[in-house]
Every structure is written in C-alpha cells, then in structure tokens.
C-alpha cells in the first residue's frame, strides 16, 4: 500500500463533519444575514443571550462554537460550557452544572458562554394516560386532554416521597422519536429517549434518570399502589377505581348482581330489604353517608373534610379502627400509623370522652392522641379546626418507594410529543403508576439562573422549535431563526471536501448528495464520507444506496401511477421503497412533499396531492402505521383519478 493510500485511508477514519466544521464566523456558509449580525456582537464584545432555532445540520451549533473562538481565541474552551439537553436534560443539570460553571472564577474575559443544545423538551406521545385530579379522588385521562390553562394533578414530594396535591398544565413539545419501555409485569411506557424517570437512590430518595440511560434489569419508581390506580375489571384499561367508565360500571354491577350466592338477586328478598329500610333516617352525626371519593362511610361533613384533607396530603389512614377496652370497644375517627385523630363533636355525640380517657390509660404509651377541636377532650396534642394541617401527622421521614423492573427498551415510532408543566414539584404520574419528570421545569430554573448570573454569563440556546421554549426565556434572548441551507451552499462544501480528501465525485453524485441532504449540511457530509468508504468513485447510485434515499424519478413514477388510477403499480413501487431500499415512511413523505412541484402537475392535481400528503404526514406523526397511511394516500389519489 502506498504512502498516499495510507494517508487517504487515515483521513477517512476521521469524522468529517467535525474535521470540516467552520472554526470562525467568517467560514460559515449559507447563513450570511445571521453571521453578519453575530459578527457585530463579537466585534463590540457585547453579546446578549442568544437563541438559535431551526432544523438540524444548518449551522446552529457551529455558530455557537465560532462565537466562542472569535471571542476568546485559543482559550475559548476555558470560557465555554456545552451541554446537550437531550443527553443531560433535567432540573438537576440546570441547578448544578450550569450554576457551578457560572459561579467559578475566571479571568481575561468579561463573561463566559453556556451553550445548551436541543433546549426544547420532548416527552410522551398523545394517548399516554396520566393521573389528574386530587390524591383523594384521582382521575385518568390522555395527556393531550390535560387543560392548557391548568388543573389539579398529583405529584410526589421529593423530601418525603409522599403523594401530594399539585397542579399542572399541558405543554405541546413538538415531535419526537418514541421508544417503548416494557416492565417485568407487562406494563408499557412510550417516551422519548431524553425523557426522565426516577430510580431510588441509596438514601431512599428519588433520583432522575433518562430513558436512554435505562437498561433491562434497572428498576424505576412505581406509585401504582399509592395513587390508587388499577386495571378496569371489565375492559382492562387503567382507571382510578374498579371501572373506567359508566358502561363498564353498569356491566360490572350487572355481572355481580347476577352472580351465584347474591341474595339481592331474588326479587322477594330485595323487596323485603327495601321495606325494612323505609322511614329509617341516620341518627348519628346528622349526615351519615358513604363517600365514593374517600372510599368509606363518613358520619358528618366534618369527617368528610378531614378525610379529604388527609388524602389530599397523601397521608394514609385507617378509618374507625377497633380498640378493645375493659367492657366495650373504642372506635376513634382516624388512625395514622401510631397516631389517633379525634374530632371533638363526634366524640361528644357518642359520649366518648370516657372512652378516650380509658384508651390513654391502656394504650397511651403506644399511640399519640391528636384532637381537632375542644382542648377539654383528653389528648396528647390538640389543634383548633382552622389550625389543623395533615402534615403534622407525618414523621418527616422518607417513605419507602416501590419499584418496577425494566424488561426491554425498543424503538416504537416518531410522532407528536407532550409534557405537563407542574406548578410545585416537577413530576407527575402516568396512569399505570410510573413516576415521570416534568422536564419543562428545567426551563423555569434556567430562567432564574439567567437572571442570577446575567453579569458574568451569556447563554446560547439551540432548539428545533422556538415555540417549545417558555416565553420568559425567549424574551431574554435575541432570537435567530436559521434557514435550511441552499443547494448551492451544500454543493460548494461537498466539492471542497471531495478535493481535500482526494476522492472522485461525479456530477450526478454531487446532485444526489445535495438532493438527499435537503438543506442539511451534516447529512450531505456524512453521506459523502459513507459513500467514499464503500467505493473509489462516489456516484449517484452509491449515494442513493448509502443514504436510503429514493431517486426523484422513483417518487415521480409512484405518484404518476396513482394519479393515473393504477393503484397496484403505485403500491408495488412503494413496497420497493420501503422493503428493498429500506426507506422509512416519514422519509417517503418528506420526499413527496419536496418533489410536488417537480412532477409537472397542473395546479389542481398539485393541491390535491399536497392535501393528501399533509393528511398522511399528520396521521404518521400521531403514531399511525406508516405503510397503511402511505397506501391510503396512493389509494385516495387513484380513486380521484
């Protein structure tokens, strides 16, 4: 092997997108207007917070790195912190790594730069069911039905691991690639790789861990039993009670009432019971009733209010436990671990003061009696009604958290992404009880950090969708929206790299690289390097094969066949693209959209095709089967022929 061949092969072992990344603002191509404005900031050494938005591979990260090099020269790495939010997203990163860098001492510069790439958060797909409502009366609903203006949603207190009342609102997080997590007991979760869940640390506290960091055998926090969710007894959907809907409830009760051994199924027995109950009103407490929300009988509005307060605070209790006394039994209102809670009015109604006194004599060393009401009742602790807080019954310790083992993590689909922005603690529960992180809270923490360190730190945020960055951050930044690179800019860079690497590229090979890139310089350079490795000459055939891109004429042929009414031929072409060439359905949609005006269609046919493409793209994004949606698109074009 010659020395030249050795050098050439060694050069191809490097990653070309890094080797040929522009080092200064002057070297960036295709974003002239943006570069001019950024250059003016650098020349005055007066950089504001910046936000770069736009598609991948169009120069956002390169611009941030170039700014640092132009400002700080050879020492740029000492003054520049880069974090990739999809790898390191979370409240802990914002509070710790960013603050640590911002607070550390430095010299020779007026400020330092923190670059947060992929700052727009992603989460879970539509249809993911979450727990809403209050802890005492949880509800289940798809995440996309959560109120955008806010509604009650329970969360977990990080200090105690107890479920608490909280509130949150829906956040539309754009589009994401979703992966399915299967747990050992068969439960499944869909989330983006960067979406955080929780594991239990050595000290029993909850520790954030992203999906991409989870492996089979890892165990994640599971609050299914605590929040009170289970499978519907009829249809198997997740629900906060025995049944998920009125129809299932009716069906369940119908089965129960028709079951063997139920005496109420006998009409004569049912009639006798009804006659015996007629005219008998409750006499104790004035409002005895069964509370569906609490799951037990209450004997007054006061009991209902206290029971609700306890459940809202996530305090577990036993209602009216039995304690044996010398010649009777004592049934206190509530027992919370080793604490007895009594409401003064009801004790008086039952003539229970003497029983409380005897209870203290027999069990006073084992239990603490807390009275809410008149302090004359025997007690250890006493609170007035308006002073009582359920938190006083907690020992302040960390509750033990159940966990569920991860069995597998597999790619699922690409589609719409949603999150919930919580007001209090940044977490919420999926309907199956798994606890997950409210990632948008990291943006709120970032906003506070931007305010705190504005004198010595400048932030550069990079995102695909600026709409997914909260308004308080956007208002603090100069926003730059990067456009897809022109074909001319991509072609020029491809030819420069080919000459530098001494590889032969045909004209049709360059055209194919430009077409496959679609304005993404990173994709063009990666395609060139991959094609150069597989052969001595980079030509059209090699580029389309290595990038899994259909030739424009193949797309044109498929659409023309459908428009001519030949659905079977169009379907056969589609099958070749998906099966033989290994294209993804989303890529076929993208190429269809890019090629509409290249098909030499009249305006009516072009509009018709765009309408069908938009519908198929939406359905695929929402998680529908790619092949079915693409075949339906072709079928609709053929039927309209």
Look at residue 346 in the predicted model and tell me its pLDDT. 47
Nearest Cα to Cα of residue 101 among 111, 110, 90, 114: 114
Look at residue 383 in the predicted model and tell me its pLDDT. 65
The count of other CB atoms within 10 Å of the CB of residue 49 is 19
Look at residue 33 in the predicted model and tell me its pLDDT. 92
Let me know whether 492 and 558 are in one domain.
no
Q: Do the domain assignments include residue 277?
A: no
Q: Please tell me the total count of domains within the chain.
A: 5
Let me know whether 435 and 450 are in one domain.
no
Specify the CATH number for the domain of residue 160: 2.170.16.10
Look at residue 41 in the predicted model and tell me its pLDDT. 93
Beta strands 427-429; 435-437: pairing state: antiparallel
Q: Do the domain assignments include residue 262?
A: no
Cα–Cα dist 33/207, whole Å: 44
Specify the CATH number for the domain of residue 520: 1.10.8.60
The SS3 call for residue 177 is: strand
Cα–Cα dist 34/197, whole Å: 38
Among candidate residues 431, 458, 481, the one where a domain is terminated: 481
The dihedral built from the CA positions of residue 72, 77, 78 and 80, taken in this order, carries a sign that is positive
Let me know whether 99 and 136 are in one domain.
no
Cα–Cα dist 367/276, whole Å: 41
Q: Write out residues in the chain with pLDDT < 50, as ranges.
A: 1-4, 6-11, 86-91, 257, 259-267, 269-286, 346-347, 349-350
**Residue with the two structure tokens 């094969």:** 545
**Residue with the two structure tokens 């919420």:** 428
Q: Do the domain assignments include residue 204?
A: yes
Cα–Cα dist 342/369, whole Å: 7
Entry pTM: 0.54
H or E, element range at 531: helix 521-534
Let me know whether 596 and 508 are in one domain.
no
Look at residue 386 in the predicted model and tell me its pLDDT. 56
Let me know whether 147 and 229 are in one domain.
yes
Let me know whether 576 and 623 are in one domain.
yes
Q: How far is CA 440 from CA 163, 365, 428, 445, in A?
A: 20, 48, 12, 9
Q: Which tokens go with 277?
A: 């109950």
Cα–Cα dist 348/53, whole Å: 68
The count of other CB atoms within 10 Å of the CB of residue 496 is 12
Among candidate residues 498, 519, 546, the one where a domain is terminated: 546
Cα–Cα dist 574/583, whole Å: 10
Cα–Cα dist 550/529, whole Å: 19
| Cβ 252 vs Cβ 243: under 8 Å | yes
Cα–Cα dist 48/113, whole Å: 10
Look at residue 641 in the predicted model and tell me its pLDDT. 56
Which residue range is the domain that position 492 belongs to? 487-546
216 DSSP 8-state letter: T
Nearest Cα to Cα of residue 487 among 517, 509, 464, 529: 517
Angle at Cα 404 formed by Cα 188 and Cα 241, nearest 5°?
Answer: 70
Q: Do the domain assignments include residue 88?
A: yes
Q: What is the pLDDT of residues 134-163, one digit of tens each?
A: 876 788 999 999 998 889 998 988 888 888
The dihedral built from the CA positions of residue 120, 123, 125 and 127, taken in this order, carries a sign that is negative
Look at residue 260 in the predicted model and tell me its pLDDT. 47
H or E, element range at 587: helix 585-595
Q: Do the domain assignments include residue 255?
A: no
Among candidate residues 376, 410, 439, the one where a domain is terminated: 439
Any bridge partners for residue 566, and if so which? none
Look at residue 403 in the predicted model and tell me its pLDDT. 92
Cα–Cα dist 314/163, whole Å: 5
Q: Do the domain assignments include residue 23?
A: no
Q: Do the domain assignments include residue 282?
A: no
Cα–Cα dist 317/139, whole Å: 21
Look at residue 10 in the predicted model and tell me its pLDDT. 36
Let me know whether 315 and 377 are in one domain.
yes
Let me know whether 160 and 185 are in one domain.
yes
The count of other CB atoms within 10 Å of the CB of residue 536 is 7
Angle at Cα 22 formed by Cα 17 and Cα 24, nearest 5°?
Answer: 155
Cα–Cα dist 148/365, whole Å: 51
Cα–Cα dist 192/414, whole Å: 9
Q: Which tokens go with 6?
A: 């050795």
Let me know whether 431 and 447 are in one domain.
no
Q: Do the domain assignments include residue 196?
A: yes
Look at residue 523 in the predicted model and tell me its pLDDT. 86
Let me know whether 596 and 620 are in one domain.
yes
Cα–Cα dist 369/601, whole Å: 83
Please tell me the total number of residues recorded for the chain in this structure: 641
Beta strands 155-156; 163-164: pairing state: antiparallel
Look at residue 113 in the predicted model and tell me its pLDDT. 93
Specify the CATH number for the domain of residue 605: 1.20.272.10
Cα–Cα dist 43/351, whole Å: 85
Let me know whether 384 and 416 are in one domain.
no
| Cβ 561 vs Cβ 573: under 8 Å | yes
**Residue with the two structure tokens 């309907």:** 431
Q: What's the alpha-carbon Rg for the chain, to the nearest Å?
A: 33
The alpha carbon torsion through 314, 316, 319, 322 (nearest 10 deg) reads -160
| Cβ 314 vs Cβ 162: under 8 Å | yes
Q: Which tokens go with 252?
A: 């369940």
Let me know whether 322 and 388 are in one domain.
yes
Specify the CATH number for the domain of residue 54: 3.40.50.300
């Amino acid at each position: 092997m010659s020395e030249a061949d050795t050098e050439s092969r060694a050069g191809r072992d490097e990653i070309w997108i890094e080797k040929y990344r522009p080092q200064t603002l002057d070297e960036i191509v295709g974003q002239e207007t943006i570069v001019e404005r950024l250059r003016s900031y650098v020349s005055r050494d007066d950089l504001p917070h910046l936000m770069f938005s736009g598609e991948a591979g169009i120069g956002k990260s390169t611009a941030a790195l170039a700014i640092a090099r132009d400002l700080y020269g050879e020492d740029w790495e000492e003054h520049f912190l880069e974090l990739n939010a999809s790898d390191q997203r979370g409240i802990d990163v914002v509070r710790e790594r960013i603050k640590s860098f911002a607070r550390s001492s430095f010299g020779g510069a007026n400020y330092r730069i923190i670059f947060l790439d992929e700052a727009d958060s992603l989460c879970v797909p539509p249809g993911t069911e979450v727990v809403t409502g209050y802890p005492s009366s949880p509800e289940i609903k798809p995440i996309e039905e959560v109120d955008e203006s806010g509604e009650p949603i329970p969360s977990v207190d990080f200090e105690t691991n107890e479920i608490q009342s909280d509130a949150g609102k829906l956040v539309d997080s754009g589009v994401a690639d979703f992966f399915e997590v299967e747990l050992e007991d068969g439960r499944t979760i869909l989330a983006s790789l960067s979406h955080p869940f929780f594991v239990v640390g050595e000290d029993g506290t909850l520790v954030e861990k992203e999906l991409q960091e989870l492996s089979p055998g890892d165990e994640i926090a599971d609050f299914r039993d605590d929040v009170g969710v289970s499978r519907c007894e009829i249809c198997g959907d997740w629900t906060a009670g025995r049944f998920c809907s009125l129809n299932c409830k009716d069906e369940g009760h119908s089965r129960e009432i028709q079951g063997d051994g139920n005496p109420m199924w006998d009409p004569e027995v049912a009639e006798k019971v009804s006659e015996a109950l007629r005219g008998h009103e409750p006499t104790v407490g004035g409002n005895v009733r069964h509370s569906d929300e609490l799951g037990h009988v209450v004997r007054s509005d006061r009991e209902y209010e206290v029971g609700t307060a306890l459940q809202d605070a996530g305090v577990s209790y036993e209602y009216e436990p039995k304690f044996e006394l010398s010649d009777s039994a004592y049934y206190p209102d509530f027992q919370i671990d080793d604490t007895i809670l009594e409401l003064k009015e009801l004790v008086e109604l039952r003539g229970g003061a003497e029983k409380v006194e005897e209870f203290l004599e027999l069990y006073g060393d084992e239990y603490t009696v807390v009275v809410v009401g008149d302090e004359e009742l025997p007690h250890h602790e006493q609170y007035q009604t308006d002073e009582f807080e359920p938190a006083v019954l907690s020992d302040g310790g960390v509750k033990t958290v159940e966990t569920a083992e991860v069995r597998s993590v597999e790619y699922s689909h690409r589609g719409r992404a949603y999150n919930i922005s919580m007001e209090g603690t940044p977490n919420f529960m999926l309907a199956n009880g798994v606890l997950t992180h409210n990632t948008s809270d990291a943006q709120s923490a970032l906003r506070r950090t931007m305010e705190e360190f504005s004198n010595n730190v400048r932030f550069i945020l990079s995102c695909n969708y600026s709409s997914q960055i909260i308004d308080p951050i956007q208002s603090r930044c100069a926003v730059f929206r990067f456009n897809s690179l022109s074909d001319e800019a991509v072609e020029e860079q491809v030819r420069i790299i080919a000459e530098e690497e001494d590889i032969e590229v045909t004209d049709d090979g360059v055209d194919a690289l430009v077409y496959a890139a679609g304005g993404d310089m990173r994709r063009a350079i990666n395609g060139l390097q991959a094609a150069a490795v597989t052969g001595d000459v980079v030509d059209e055939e090699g580029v389309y094969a290595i990038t899994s891109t259909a030739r424009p004429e193949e797309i044109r042929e498929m659409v023309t066949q459908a428009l001519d009414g030949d659905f079977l031929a169009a379907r056969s072409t589609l099958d070749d693209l998906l099966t033989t060439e290994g294209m993804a359905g989303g890529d076929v949609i993208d190429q269809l959209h890019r090629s509409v005006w290249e098909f030499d269609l009249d305006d009516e046919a072009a509009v018709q095709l765009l309408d069908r493409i938009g519908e198929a793209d939406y359905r695929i994004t929402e998680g529908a089967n790619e092949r079915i949606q693409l075949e339906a698109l072709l079928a609709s074009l053929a039927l309209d022929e």
